Amino acid sequence: MTSSDSNHPAGQDPHNVYEDPAVQQEIRDIADVPAVEVINTAAVHLMSAAAIKCGLAASEDAAELKDLDEARKLITALAGFITAAAPEIGSQHAGPLRDGLRSLQLAFREESAHPDTPGQGPGEKWTGPVN
């Protein structure tokens, strides 16, 4: 028996994580969460990361954390995600996400040394021009 085999109960394949009781509990837990909550949580994570990359972190080192190339990718992914999810989650959930996205798009433009022309900014392929 190898050292990695000793960490798994007899009969469990150490390469099949789905047999792990902790993973099974996590699967049961996520099964209880409505899709709209999972979608909102994912969007908020993208928004938070994009805000930090735009230099909007609420810390003294915010400028050091700014990375507009990374922010562009996150904002574009967020725009596509919200656009795809909106019909599924309804306007009551999509509206605030769209507002947050627009704020990030405007913050990106303000932080850019050479702002994109309207319609060419991050995510504007999905949202249209943001002014």
Task: Report the candidate in 86, 85, 88, 71 with the shortest Cα–Cα distance to residue 123.
Answer: 71
Please state, in angstroms and rounded to a whole number, the distance separating the CA atoms of residues 57 and 60.
Answer: 8
Please state, in angstroms and rounded to a whole number, the distance separating the CA atoms of residues 23 and 98.
Answer: 33
pLDDT (average), residues 33-57: 96
pLDDT-derived band of residue 19, with 50, 70 and 90 as boundaries?
Answer: confident
Lowest mean pLDDT among 11-20, 65-74, 99-108, 119-128: 11-20
